[in-house]
């Protein structure tokens, strides 16, 4: 039976298990949208293509499935770039479908033509321009395979209008065989054995966990591994929630705004076991002083990530769950040596416990001004353990990482690699679509929120009960903090003086708006928001010049952090 290109597209999505797509229609995808009417796939109409991609991204992060977004050609396609780059930097599995002008017009400066293949090449794992409808099913099968295997990432499929309208016999391939793309799933056995030997010989081991642990759903294996060797565990921003923050072995976050004890532990360690992490500059600080005494084992499914930023003594390429399971099995074979290791490293854990006691994460909630950390702690206290928290980017993002005790994987969705303001609200939207009965909360700054605030309309239209906590200091807070600390308080263009009435903004969209101006009002506002059906904005008037501390100044080593401003 013959099908048109747009029908084949939707049939392929259905066969890949896609039940929801996010998007925005236009002339070059109008055939797809026409066939969507007869498809079982649900479509969420966002108010901006960037937000549609972020929503698909949030859906993917929360579920582990491949997120899908659709945009038209030209400006619709180029509006997706920030969302695609955000997903690429954080290795999120996604397939983005863009419309394209008819193939005879490509290269002729046709109306709404843009070379989206060329534009997205640096920010996609792979991309395709489909020129023949006979290739469409095969390409889509490959697109989903590439997006979800190996190191996940976004794949773009550019679909000209005439290909959507053309017909062919539909056959969906059963398998994918791509020359040059063969992800390694099992770690090399000899390398794993060498890693176990290094662990058993260590005196001050630290496990350093990145976003790969969440992406590969390796939290149970990570917990078993850490407990087997009783090694302290620190995470990147993207690795948070993959290891319970309240676990006795948890050191919490490492890096620029990490804890004192995490940064000192890595600096003093003699063995760093990196698990699905990429050693970005916000984590390492000054490279020459990063873990200066440590041998480094780097476990990652992507061989190109290994030795990219730091020296590595032992690379292990493979899927994290497989490698960690194998390591634990090997450790069991060395039961006596493991016991000796745990006894030998007891002073190391005691030293770290001393750091934790002497330099805990803290702030002072005094007077009548609301501290943003206090709001975040209250949200944590009043929400369920499986609440999904998204953030925008800035000070509120770091305070959330510091003061929200995440205990379950896939409950903290944030833009780590690209640091995309405007990510949190549409990502929360995507997560709420995936889990309509769970608490989903976007913690935001007033600046970030305004970058995609139009998605309030989408929340209201689809009755998605996302709660939005705006920590309003009328500043672009993180830039202001840097201007205070490193530019002699010359606040250039960071003060957002226009007093937006976020309560009225919520009401204008048909949502509920609440406001707290004193510490005493914070808990009541949060409770009322959680009990209110539908989307709610909670505006908290917080201390204007509160800083995120501790902080490692740019170019400094992790052990040179500033504890207070």
Residue 329: CB partners within 8 Å, gap ≥ 6? none
H-only helix segments in 18-129: 30-36, 49-63, 75-78, 81-89, 116-120
310-334: pLDDT as tens digits: 999 999 999 999 999 999 999 999 9
- The two tokens of residue 279 are 């050693």
Is residue 365 annotated as part of the catalytic site, yes or no?
A: no
Is residue 521 annotated as part of the catalytic site, yes or no?
A: no
The percent of residues in the chain predicted with pLDDT above 70, rounded, is: 100
Contact 167, 193 (CB under 8 A): no
Active-site residue (options: 2, 111, 329, 486): 111
For residue 253, pLDDT over 80 is answered with yes
Q: What is the CA radius of gyration of the chain?
A: 24
187-236: pLDDT as tens digits: 899 999 999 999 999 999 999 999 999 999 999 999 999 999 999 999 99
Is residue 329 annotated as part of the catalytic site, yes or no?
A: no
For residue 371, count other CB atoms closer than 10 A to its CB: 21
399-417: pLDDT as tens digits: 999 999 999 999 999 999 9
d(CA 266, CA 205): 9
Mean pLDDT of 133-150: 97
Active-site residue (options: 3, 65, 125, 161): 161
Contact 440, 59 (CB under 8 A): no
Is residue 200 classed exposed, middle or buried when 0-12, 13-18 and 19+ CB atoms within 10 A define those classes?
middle
pLDDT of residue 185: 80
d(CA 509, CA 458): 9
Structural domains in the chain plus CATH codes: 2-169 (3.40.50.970), 189-358 (3.40.50.1220), 372-541 (3.40.50.970)
Active-site residue (options: 94, 421, 478, 538): 478
Describe the crossing of helices 372-382 and 519-531 by its angle, rounded to 10 degrees: 40
496-518: pLDDT as tens digits: 988 899 999 999 999 999 999 99
**Closest to 562 (Cα-Cα) out of 185, 552, 189, 112:** 552
Active-site residue (options: 7, 11, 16, 49): 49
d(CA 34, CA 549): 52
Strands 126-129, 154-160: parallel, antiparallel or unpaired by DSSP? parallel
**Closest to 213 (Cα-Cα) out of 438, 426, 408:** 408
The percent of residues in the chain predicted with pLDDT above 90, rounded, is: 92
343-364: pLDDT as tens digits: 999 999 999 999 999 999 999 8
Per-residue confidence band for 137, with pLDDT thresholds at 50, 70 and 90: very high
At residue 2, the 3 state secondary structure works out as strand
13-66: pLDDT as tens digits: 999 999 999 999 999 999 999 999 999 999 999 999 999 999 999 999 999 999
Residue 399: in which H helix or E strand, if any? Answer: helix 395-403
Is residue 161 annotated as part of the catalytic site, yes or no?
A: yes
Distances (CA, A) of 302 to 152, 212, 242, 503, 541: 10, 10, 19, 46, 44
Is residue 112 annotated as part of the catalytic site, yes or no?
A: yes
Residue 253: CB partners within 8 Å, gap ≥ 6? 234, 235, 236, 237, 240, 259, 262, 401, 402
């Amino acid at each position: 039976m013959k099908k048109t290109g747009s029908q084949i597209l939707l049939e392929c999505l259905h066969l890949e298990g896609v039940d929801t797509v996010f998007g925005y229609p236009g002339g070059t995808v109008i055939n797809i949208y026409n066939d969507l009417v007869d498809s079982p796939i649900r479509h969420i109409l966002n108010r901006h293509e960037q937000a549609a991609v972020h929503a698909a991204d949030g859906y993917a992060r929360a579920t582990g499935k491949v997120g899908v977004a659709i945009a038209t050609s030209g400006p619709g396609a180029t509006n997706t770039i920030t969302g695609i780059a955000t997903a690429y930097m954080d290795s999120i599995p996604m397939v983005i479908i863009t419309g394209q002008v008819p193939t005879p017009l490509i290269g002729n400066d046709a109306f709404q033509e843009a070379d989206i293949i060329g534009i997205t090449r640096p920010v996609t794992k792979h991309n395709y321009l489909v020129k023949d409808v006979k290739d469409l099913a095969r390409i889509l099968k490959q697109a989903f395979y590439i997006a979800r295997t190996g190191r996940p990432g976004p794949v773009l499929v550019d679909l000209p209008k005439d290909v959507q309208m053309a017909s062919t016999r539909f056959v969906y391939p059963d398998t994918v065989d791509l020359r040059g793309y063969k992800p390694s799933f099992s770690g090399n056995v000899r390398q794993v054995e060498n890693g176990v030997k290094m662990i058993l010989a260590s005196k001050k081991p630290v496990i350093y966990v990145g976003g790969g642990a969440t992406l590969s759903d390796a939290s149970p294996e990570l917990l078993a591994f850490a407990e087997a060797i009783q090694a302290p565990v620190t995470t990147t921003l993207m690795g948070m929630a993959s290891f319970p923050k309240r676990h006795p072995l948890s050191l919490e976050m490492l890096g620029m705004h990490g804890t004192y004890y995490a940064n000192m532990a890595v600096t003093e360690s003699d063995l760093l076991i990196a698990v699905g992490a990429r050693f970005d500059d916000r984590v390492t600080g000054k490279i020459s002083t990063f873990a200066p005494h440590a041998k480094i084992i780097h476990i990652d499914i992507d061989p190109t990530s290994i030795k990219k930023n730091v020296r590595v003594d032992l690379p292990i390429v493979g899927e994290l769950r497989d490698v960690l399971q194998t390591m634990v099995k090997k450790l069991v074979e060395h039961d006596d040596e493991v016991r000796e290791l745990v006894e030998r490293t007891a002073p190391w854990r005691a030293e770290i416990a001393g750091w934790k006691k002497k330099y805990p994460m803290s702030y002072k909630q005094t007077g009548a001004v609301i501290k943003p950390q206090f709001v975040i702690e209250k949200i944590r206290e009043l929400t369920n353990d499986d609440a999904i928290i998204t953030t925008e980017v800035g000070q509120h993002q770091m305070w959330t990482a510091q003061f929200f005790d995440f205990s379950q994987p896939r409950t903290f969705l944030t833009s780590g690699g690209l640091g995309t303001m405007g990510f949190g609200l549409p990502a929360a939207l995507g997560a709420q679509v995936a889990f309509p009965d769970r608490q989903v909360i976007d913690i935001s700054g007033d600046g970030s929120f305004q970058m995609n605030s139009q998605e309030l309309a989408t929340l209201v239209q689809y009755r998605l009960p996302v709660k939005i906590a705006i920590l309003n200091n009328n500043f672009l807070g993180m830039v202001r903090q840097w201007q205070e600390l490193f530019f002699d308080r010359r606040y250039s263009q960071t003060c957002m003086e226009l007093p937006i009435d976020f309560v009225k903004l919520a009401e204008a969209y048909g949502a509920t708006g609440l406001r707290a101006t004193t510490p005493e009002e914070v808990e009541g506002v949060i409770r009322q928001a959680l009990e209110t059906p539908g989307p709610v904005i909670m505006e908290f008037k917080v201390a204007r010049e509160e800083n995120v501390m501790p902080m490692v100044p740019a170019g400094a080593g992790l052990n040179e952090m500033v504890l207070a401003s």
